[in-house]
Amino acid sequence: MAKVITFSNQKGGVAKTTSAVMTVGNLVNRGYKVLLIDTDPQANATDFVAPHCDGTRSIYSVITGQHPVEEVIVHTEEFGDVLPSSSQLYNDEILSSNPFAIKEIIDAVRNSYDYIVIDTPPNLGKVQIADILASEYLVIPTKATRESVKGIQMLIDTIYQYLEYNPSMEIVGILVTMSDKRVLAVRENMKFIKQLAESIEVAVFSNWIRAAQALVGEAELFHTNVFARKARNKAKDDYDGFVSELLHRIERMEGKV
């Protein structure tokens, strides 16, 4: 039975998509069966891992009953299975009558996977809420800037509002992305992040993701799973450390260790 891991933050540009795709690539490389669900109408994750998708079959067409999910999931060599998104999902009214639509899609396929990873859109609209209702383990990527930190409180407030309808969901932690510990402003802003995290009783992953334009940019451009390649890179190493920590924390939350 798959565990459902969601990368969520209403801010754009904090590496939600990159973290979701890197996590999927890493889990696939570890030998797990993984499904990536793209729920952002911008479809950046879809473009990264399955660039041939043209949007005619997508999570939108599953929610609206045009296609069964099995006919929409795309099998990729590098990143496992993908449920693509499409710009049609900007019409999020389709979730008004059933905010559990994404959970229902997951329930229909969860027996086939070890992990299901959800990439979310950069706002707190109906899709984000449907994602929260479908999630088991939430990761909040953020940059270590003062501005990025501000949004976290708002996100947590929204999450708590919906926890009533999905009480078993756990916030696994805050993942600091694109941040180099050697930069003074990063270290200073980390103090704010840790303070905030402590006050809301949320963990901060000890593995930070450093900025590494070459790796992320090239991987995106060439649609490659960096974990299946020999090339060494700091962001690749950081994501490997993060995934180990993520799996360990999940096991701990399940009471296994």
Ligand X SMILES: Nc1ncnc2c1ncn2[C@@H]1O[C@H](COP(=O)(O)OP(=O)(O)O)[C@@H](O)[C@H]1O
Rounded Cα distance between 233 and 226, Å, is: 9
Rounded Cα distance between 233 and 218, Å, is: 12
**Which residue of 43, 138, 235, 246 would you call a contact of ligand X, by CB under 6 A?**
235
| Cβ proximity to ligand X, 27 vs 209, nearer residue | 209
User: Which of 129, 110, 115, 107 is CA-nearest to residue 39?
Assistant: 129
**Which residue of 28, 178, 202, 204 would you call a contact of ligand X, by CB under 6 A?**
178
10 Å Cβ neighbour count for 10?
18
Q: What are phi and psi of 3, to 5 degrees?
A: -95, 140
User: Which of 226, 173, 231 is CA-nearest to residue 18?
Assistant: 226
Structure tokens at 94: 């389709």
Taking CB under 6 A as the rule, which mask of x and - marks residues 194-213 in contact with ligand X? ---------------x-xxx
Structure tokens at 9: 């933050």
The nearest distance, CB 40 to Mg ion, in angstroms, is 5
The nearest distance, CB 178 to ligand X, in angstroms, is 5
Listed ranges 11-19, 50-58, 62-70, 192-200: which one lies at the site for Mg ion (CB under 5 A): 11-19
Determine, following the binding rule CB under 5 A, whether residue 10 of this chain makes contact with Mg ion.
Answer: no
Determine, following the binding rule CB under 6 A, whether residue 135 of this chain makes contact with ligand X.
Answer: no
Quick one: what does residue 29 bind among ligand X, Mg ion, none, with the CB cut-off 5 to 8 Å set by partner type? none
Rounded Cα distance between 218 and 234, Å, is: 14
**Which residue of 44, 46, 148, 177 would you call a contact of Mg ion, by CB under 5 A?**
44
Determine, following the binding rule CB under 5 A, whether residue 128 of this chain makes contact with Mg ion.
Answer: no
| Binding residues for ligand X restricted to 4-43, rule: CB under 6 A | 12-18
Quick one: what does residue 18 bind among Mg ion, ligand X, none, with the CB cut-off 5 to 8 Å set by partner type? ligand X
Determine, following the binding rule CB under 6 A, whether residue 124 of this chain makes contact with ligand X.
Answer: no
Q: How far apart, in Å, are the Cα atoms of 232 and each of 34, 59, 151, 158, 226? A: 24, 34, 33, 38, 9
Listed ranges 36-44, 74-82, 136-144, 176-184: which one lies at the site for Mg ion (CB under 5 A): 36-44
- Tell me the sheet residues that pair with 138: 6, 171
Query: What residues make contact with ligand X under the rule CB under 6 A?
Result: 12-18, 44, 122, 177-178, 209, 211-213, 216-217, 220, 235
